[in-house]
Structure 1
């Protein structure tokens, strides 16, 4: 009781003022939790959240939307699979009564994209279910406070942490408790330069008393995934009707569901002659020159991207290589969702 009372009182005075905290509407909370998966709270996130809610004010509107429009509103946030799963959730519920929403943690986690943390956050905040929401902040706060030496990279640690936290969670205000832990970890109990002297529970904190703050949480060194280098050569063309050629990404790769240009991918950097040969061989197009290039870093990938200015030959109508792509008028570009490198290119060319 001492712990939960202290952190909830601290949270009420010092917690971050965020638009999704002004409501108990489960749909709004759902959208915010999806957006915050693998993404920190920022002005960009808040702006995207507000625009998304304005465009799709409820589950019904979201279910009725085209995937293209949902991804467009998600544009710039990254990890687009989250938006696809959110859209899928809405479509799964579209035939339910208008006020239906899964209220229990065990029901929420049955849906794609809703993992243990997201399910617990929604269930506790919206429906007062007494269940801890355990994310990186919670691991850090509780491992330091209690002195938990379990390796948080191991899946078995989650159950152990859940047992510890379940004994400390506030049974009257579980949602406030979980949000307080989240903000305590984000504002005071940070990975580096922790503000321990401002912490409301420092006097009973194991790490503060024993000088072991930065020894927690325990993470045994694991082999880092190698950084994959990929070379992308985008084909920039338009047909004789001044329409731009686009490709919708459908494979289980980065940016699934987004749009880009016809692509030549290589494991190595291509020479001018190799580019020319590939462009002709794969698309029956004439390569002119590179008009833009950029390096784009992802979590475990570095993309070296070049945009190639290419021409369509006179026998365009017989070009079977371009049949699987779509052609859109320049004026419709802003209606399509693109990954960041394509957006940068379009801005560079002053097309958006």
Structure 2
């Protein structure tokens, strides 16, 4: 029995039961693949997927939606550019051909649909014979074939595509790709892989040669930037809350937050309040502080929230011209970064 048959037979008995596997609707598969980019399958992902599909059951509904509403349904998943690309894809199809691309080469022309996502959709939904090479697949095949090249390299991934395209099941390419995904998630995991349960253990190079824990090779140079954020959660005398939309080319673009002071160093409470008074020209009579450290791929954010109250009418303050004000009960309508969600939960506002 060949490699692909062993993998597929194992998959039929051990596959993960996931809601997007109950359909061949390319839109549903697309949503799931966008959500799973740089993210593992979890209860949170499944819940978010189901909520997103209920809110936007098809491409037309998604195309008609406002960005704010799309980001709100994506809230808590992170990597918000994925939601924007998905929204953009829906709008482009509505304004153009108005039918779902069925070929890999057509799919990867759209922003946010890379080689893996394009191959997954093309093979699962349209039976195109093309391997879907993600992190799980790289790990499985680098161990199985004994490939010591850096798997983060585009050259290595292209080489794997050529090799795998010769051994994959031509009649069931979608099932083959999903089988590799699950094998990498269930058995061929990064640490303490369950090699003795693997359906292809007898022909695995790494298992025979004792190199399972040495592969895959992943050379990543990480530069971690440390940033200090000081958010000012202000209520004016009318209980209005001050918000702004993040528009700069930075993290969380398109989401909403509070007035922000960023510093290159850690500031004391007195220094922060002094800056608030100078920058925003307001007098604060009551403050409380909430702290959180938030880690991103290449950044660590040390965040302090200052919950402030003022007797002034901030709408008449020219320093707040670039902000807008809402009533507390409206706050649930806006999409926020995760640190702000945690703060709002702490304040019992959501």
Aligned match of 1:228: 225
1:276-322, Cα deviation, whole Å (9 max, x unpaired): 22112221122443332222222222222112233445464541110
Aligned match of 1:185: 184
1:43 is the counterpart of 2:43? yes
1:273 is the counterpart of 2:270? yes
1:202-234, Cα deviation, whole Å (9 max, x unpaired): 1111112222211211234x4332x22211111
Q: Secondary structure at the match of 1:307?
A: strand
- Structure 2 distance, partners of 1:342, 1:128, is 43
- Structure 1 distance, partners of 2:125, 2:313, is 60
Aligned match of 1:327: 325
In 2 relative to 1, CA 317–120 (structure 1 residues): closer, same or farther, beyond 3 Å?
Answer: closer
- Contact 2:282–2:312 under 8 Å retained in 1: no
1:229-261, Cα deviation, whole Å (9 max, x unpaired): 211111111233322111111111111111110
- Structure 1 distance, partners of 2:7, 2:19, is 21
Q: Secondary structure at the match of 1:223?
A: coil
Match among 260, 272, 281 for residue 284 of structure 1: 281
In 2 relative to 1, CA 197–102 (structure 1 residues): closer, same or farther, beyond 3 Å?
Answer: same
Aligned match of 2:115: 116
Q: Secondary structure at the match of 1:111?
A: coil
- Structure 2 distance, partners of 1:231, 1:300, is 14
Moved more, 315-324 or 22-31: 315-324
- Structure 1 distance, partners of 2:212, 2:238, is 64
Q: How does 1:1-352 map to 2 (within 5 A)?
A: 2-96=2-96, 100-220=99-219, 222-225=220-223, 227-287=224-284, 288-312=286-310, 314=312, 316-352=314-350
- Contact 1:188–1:196 under 8 Å retained in 2: yes
- Structure 1 distance, partners of 2:117, 2:56, is 20
- Structure 2 distance, partners of 1:329, 1:247, is 14
Q: Secondary structure at the match of 1:139?
A: helix
Q: Which runs of 5+ in 1 are unaligned?
A: none
Q: Secondary structure at the match of 2:325?
A: strand
Q: Secondary structure at the match of 2:304?
A: strand
Q: Secondary structure at the match of 1:310?
A: strand
- Contact 1:140–1:217 under 8 Å retained in 2: yes
Q: Secondary structure at the match of 2:226?
A: strand
Q: Could you state the TM-score of these two structures normalised by the residue count of structure 1?
A: 0.95
Task: Quote how far apart the aligned CAs of 1:196 are.
Answer: 0.9
Q: Secondary structure at the match of 2:331?
A: helix
- Contact 1:285–1:311 under 8 Å retained in 2: no
Q: Could you state the TM-score of these two structures normalised by the residue count of structure 2?
A: 0.96
RMSD: 1.5
- Structure 2 distance, partners of 1:259, 1:316, is 18
- Structure 1 distance, partners of 2:315, 2:214, is 66
- Structure 2 distance, partners of 1:315, 1:213, is 65
